[in-house]
Structure 1
Amino acid sequence: MKHGTMRAHVALAFAALVLAGDAMAGGFNYKDALTKSIIFLEAQRSGKLPPNNRVKWRGDSALDDGKLAHVDLTGGYYDAGDNVKYGLPLAFTVTTLAWTALSFQHELQAAGELDNVHAAIRWGTDYLLKCAARKNKLWVQVGDPNLDHQCWVRPENMKAPRTLYEINEKTPGTEIAAETAAAMAASSMVFRGHDKKYSRSLLNKAKTLFLFAKNHRGSYDGECPFYCSYSGYNDELLWAATWLYMATKRQVYADFISHEAISSSVAEFSWDLKYPGAQVLLSEFNMTSSGGAQSFKTQADNYVCAVLPDTAFHQVFITPGGLIHLRDGANTQYVTSTAFLFVAYSDILLRTGQHVLCGNTPVSPARLREFARQQMDYLLGANPRGQSYVVGFGANSPTQPHHRGASTPVLPPGYDVNCGMSFGEWFAPDRPNPNELTGAVMGGPDRNDNFVDKRANSSYTEPCTYINSLAIGPLAALAIRGAKLVATH
């Protein structure tokens, strides 16, 4: 018995070592990166922070948001390094967090991060419910970006007017209404198992917002030049209908998807372009788009074939070091979005016993997972510069994120910031930020793998919530399944 027990202990220890080796393949502690990627989202919170706030240099901020219209619009997220709350990227962050919680539930639970992801989603949906309190009206932005960008100040000490922007029947904004509907529908599925009342309120609001988006069509340009929807609103309508179909399985949404929605094969998944996300979600439902000419499975395959460098249909530029590069300016959003979709799609393909077809050439789910891992590993340090692009993680991680709160020292409440002097005091100096923006994924290098860690270099050093929201799923898969991303469900 003693020898048997000893053998069992040795076997367990060996298994633990194997799992640990997988989780740190390539020398990366994926679980640590996962935890830190979630902490960054907490650094982006607006409003009154909870007692368990983990970012100690952050404090309550923007507690009067909405007062100009006698409504409560406190809460939500600052999307990047400034102090404006933009509706379109905020809702997309929530939608992708909810998808992450649904598709990587087991991995997040095993990593001890599921509750933190749920809290991140709820921080967003609580705010979105306030924004959508009235029928056929949605508050879509808090803060004047032009005034905001005239002062380099922490959100805790800002004094710029918190101008409010809305969409309604006379001033439509189909993209934002539909994206917010998608966020609420996806989130309703997350909370269905443990808060049915909250889940129902989210789903009901998603339904009314979708009708508003569909019946009052028009692009909202009030967020330009900061978040202009270059792709139009057809992708958001398909995306919202897809999440509503996923949440309800009602025929009305299936009919819209099959007969009314417009879809297209593209090589990008982002806050502005949702087609590939909807196509991956719909790939197993045997639906068609574009008048029945193509199945969503075919279009999801087309996305993969356009991204992978080893197919005849490759369209996306890959840097010499192996990183996807679509454009300067938060380019890593396309890196994490691709890694996320590739892992999520590979799980669907494995579950349904299928593969990707690039022309007549099959591509295995394993190839998708391999490419996703390579993209995430690049961000963690497996790149020509040998540096991490995640603040506070790995070797030579960035020290000057383009971020007001991180680059400004903690100031007393009510401190009168001189906006004219603020840029010279806190933005211009070539020194590390006084506060670590833990887990923030930088915008990344240029198309030649070059990177300058200077906060003035905002195209490469500004973080965004939707970069991180899409990094969480792949990191959870890597942390728990190992470097091969072997599917567990």
Structure 2
Amino acid sequence: MAESCYLFIFLALFSTFWLCVNSRFDYKDALTKSIIFLEAQRSGKLPLDHRPPWRGDSALDDGKEVGVDLVGGYYDSGDNVKFGFPMAFTVTTMAWAAYFYEHEIKDAGELNNLLDGIRWGTDYFLKASAQPNRLYVQVGDPKMDHECWMKPECMKTPRSVLEINQNRPGTEIAAETAAALAASSIVFRRVDHCYAEMLLRRAKMLFRFADEHQGTFDGACPYYCSYSGYNDELLWGAAWLFIATKDQLYLQYINEETTSAVVNEFSWDLKYAGVQVLLSQLYWEGLKELHTFQQQADAYICAVHPDSPYRQPFITPGGLIHFRDGANSQYVTSTAFLFSVYSDLLARHNVQVVCGAKTLTHTDLMRFAKKQMDYLLGHNPACRSIMVGFGHNPPLHAHHRGASIPVNASTENVTCGMSFALWFNTDTPNPNELTGAILGGPNRTDAFVDSRTNSSCTEPGTYINSLAIGVLAKLAYRAKHHESRCCACDQCHRKTCTSGKIS
């Protein structure tokens, strides 16, 4: 009897291991769900075709206390504050995905949904920047919001408003918002030219404001402090404006008015690596004066790729790039996205990256990007997905107010203190599936704790998902058109096929 039990346990463990190492992910499904999560983060009056069924209208009086309509936009993570800085970065990177991977996203049937998501953000930014030299950058009181566990439809905390202006500048936020509007104007140009021109005019106005009234905004601290300064956002904004306008003044600004630096991460706070990859595309298309940025992009790749002798970030035993325990997945998706884009640029222009004695090809870069995304989708030591509602053993306890409170829960007589006892400090799975949310992720030992109280592991973020869209679209396209064409047999499971190795 004991031997039978041991055999059963062994077979169960072996089958789980086999499922993990031989998993072939449905990247198209992951892409769709990534965008659905962003829809779940919308604030304001929701459209009739809104896909998350448990979300409702919220924050319909935002901006009323200052006489401005600030309804709309996005909540950044598991709380109910609208932070302008990460929201703008989310929209910029959504637009970059639509700009660079338009064909792949359209092939997956998600381009219109992505454009709707971008427009949800840009419509809000147009409201927030309607007055010259003034940008509304935050709605909600972060301190009081974090002391209350209420879904956005039933908030009981103040909707205070913060702004930047000539006397209280915030160059990082103004320049990032300019980047978001400029990048978005590019993707809307073919589908709504008038709207694209409106976005571009506002982007120019905001960039001028950011440049002429320089200073760091610290009103969002300790939640979204700018640790890297604002030079990277000025460079980032100028780059997107140059791509959108082809105006030589922005190119001159890039070359003469800003500085750049070699870094090993790309995030809502630190944009250098992103702008270096972005400008490398222009360099290879003929703007040789941008060679320094292309060299710095190479240096970024060498500083991150695990096979490079210059690699800096920690790699977990399971193969995940790891920068910080808090919301580390944002660095995973940002790294995967930049490596995916740069891989395509290397392939397009038939070049490689030389890291000392090690030469990296476009295949090497894409293999690493895929490995990072596959880890999040379930190919990891725990053999579990980090994306809610996707794959094997996905998380059930996302650190998210709206997802954790039943739709029909009565909140009228619930105080903020009571709310934590009722819906936060419980082991009950979330009643509402936060479909597609890529959560904060495991620590440096690959340990992931699926607990609502462990925000480092289980809190989502819009900028985690926005950076996953492009690379998931590329992986979905390759799976559909490349691997299916060369592998009509089970050889795909062995990662080989008659035309060569699948990278």
Q: Same fold (TM over 0.5)?
A: yes
State the distance in 1 between where 2:137 and 2:157 align: 18
Does the CA contact (< 8 Å) of 2:302 and 2:308 recur in 1? yes
- Partner residue of 2:423 out of 426, 446, 449: 426
1:14-58 deviations in Å (ceiling 9; x for gaps)? xxxxxxxxxx98421111111111100000000000000111100
- With normalisation by structure 2, the TM-score equals 0.89
Aligned equivalent of 2:293: 296
Residues 444, 461 of structure 1: 8 Å contact kept: yes
Tell me, in whole angstroms, the C-alpha distance in 2 between the residues paired with 1:451 and 1:347: 32
CA drift at 1:414: 7.5
Contact 1:391 1:440 survives alignment (8 Å): yes
Shift of 1:336: 0.3
Q: Contact 1:177/1:210 (CA < 8 Å) preserved in 2?
A: yes
Tell me the distance in 2 between the aligned counterparts of 1:228 and 1:51: 36
Instruction: Give, in whole Å, the separation in 1 of the partners of 2:42 and 2:178.
Output: 21
Correspondence for 1:326 among 319, 323, 328: 323
Which residue number in structure 2 is paired with residue 354 of structure 1? 351
Give the letter aligned to residue 397 of structure 2.
Q
2: CA distance, partners of 1:107 / 1:370 = 18
**CA distances 1:203-227 after superposition (whole Å, capped 9, x unpaired):** 0010011111111111000000000
> What TM-score, normalized by structure 1, do the two folds share?
0.91
Q: 1:470 and 2:500 equivalent?
A: no
State the match for 1:154 in structure 2.
Answer: 151
Q: Does 1:51 align with 2:84?
A: no
Alignment partner of 1:342 is 2:343:
no
State which of 74, 79, 95 in structure 1 corresponds to 2:76. Answer: 79
Tell me: CA distance 1:355–1:93, structure 2 relative to 1, closer, same or farther (3 Å). Answer: same
8 Å contact kept, 2:239–2:275 = yes
Among candidates 372, 388, 391, match of residue 388 of structure 2: 391
* CA deviation profile, 1:227-280 (whole Å, cap 9, x unmatched): 001000011000000000110111100001011111000000000000011000
Query: Counterpart in 2 of 1:203?
Result: 200
Using the aligned pairs only, state the percent identity. 63
Matched, 1:174 2:190: no
Q: What one-letter code is carried by the residue in structure 1 that aligns with 2:213?
A: H
Q: Counterpart of 2:235?
A: 238
SS of the residue 1:226 aligns to: coil
Q: Which amino acid aligns with 2:215?
A: G
Alpha-carbon distance, 1:359 to partner: 3.2
* Cα deviation, residue 285, structure 1: 3.1
Do structure 1's residue 32 and structure 2's residue 29 form an aligned pair?
yes
Cα deviation, 1:176-229, whole Å, max 9, x if unaligned, reads: 000000000000001000111110010001001111111111100000000001
* Distance (Å, rounded) in 1 between the aligned partners of 2:24 and 2:438: 18
Q: Which amino acid aligns with 1:28?
A: F
CA distance in 2, matches of 1:151, 1:429: 15
Paired letter, 1:166: E
- SS of the equivalent of 2:138 reads strand
Match of 2:95 among 94, 98, 105: 98
**Post-superposition offset of 1:360:** 5.6
Contact 2:279 2:290 in 1 (8 A): no
Paired residue for 1:107, among 97, 104, 109? Answer: 104
Partners of 2:354 and 2:181 in 1: CA distance: 33
Counterpart of 1:404 in structure 2 is: 401
Letter in 1 for 2:380: N
After superposition, the Cα gap between the structure-2 partners of 1:73 and 1:28, relative to the gap in structure 1 and judged at 3 Å, is same
Equivalent residue letter for 2:434: L
1:268 partnered with 2:284: no
| SS of corresponding position for 2:91 | helix
Give deviations 1:359-386, integer Å, cap 9, x for gaps: 3643111111000000000001100000
How far does residue 349 in structure 1 lie from its aligned partner after superposition? 1.8
Paired residue for 1:10?
none
Gaps of 5+ in 2: 1-20, 484-503
Question: Does the CA contact (< 8 Å) of 1:477 and 1:485 recur in 2?
Answer: no
Give the letter aligned to residue 41 of structure 1.
L
Question: Whole-Å Cα distance in 2 between the matches of residues 294 and 193 of structure 1?
Answer: 30
| Alignment check: 8 A CA contact 1:267 1:303 kept | yes
In 1, distance between residues paired with 2:253 and 2:283?
A: 15
1:401-450: CA deviation from partner (whole Å, max 9, x where unpaired): 00000001114788343211100000001110111000000100000000
Task: Report Cα offsets for 1:302-326 as digits up to 9, x if no partner.
Answer: 1111111111110010000000100
State the shift of 1:160 in Å.
1.1
Return the offset for 1:297.
0.6
Q: Give the number of aligned pairs.
A: 459
State the 1:149 CA deviation. Answer: 1.1
Q: Distance in 1 between matches of 2:152 and 2:219?
A: 22
Amino acid in structure 2 at the alignment position of 1:74: V
Contact persistence 1:156–1:413 (CA under 8 A): no
In the alignment, is the contact (CA less than 8 A) between 2:283 and 2:291 conserved in 1? no
Map of 1:370 onto structure 2: 367
- Asked if the contact 1:144–1:162 (Cα under 8 Å) also holds between the matched residues in 2, the reply is yes
CA distance in 1, matches of 2:204, 2:153: 35
**Whole-Å separation in 2 of the counterparts to 1:484 and 1:391:** 27
- Deviation digits for residues 110-145 of structure 1 (CA, Å, limit 9, x no counterpart): 100000000110000000110000110000000000
1:65-121 deviations in whole A, cap 9, x for unaligned? 000011100000000000000000000000000000011111111100000000110
The CA distance in 1 between the partners of 2:350 and 2:340, in whole Å, is 15
Q: Secondary structure at the match of 1:140?
A: strand
* 1:220 paired residue number: 217
What is the RMSD computed on CA atoms of the aligned residues? 1.7
SS at match of 2:210: helix
Letter in 1 for 2:204: K
Distance in structure 1 (CA, Å) of the matches to 2:414 and 2:121? 29
Tell me the CA shift for residue 159 of structure 1: 1.9
Q: Say if 2:451 is the partner of 1:454.
A: yes
Structure 1 stretch 348-357 or stretch 251-260: which is displaced more?
348-357
Shift of 1:462: 0.1
Distance 2:112 2:135 in 1: 28
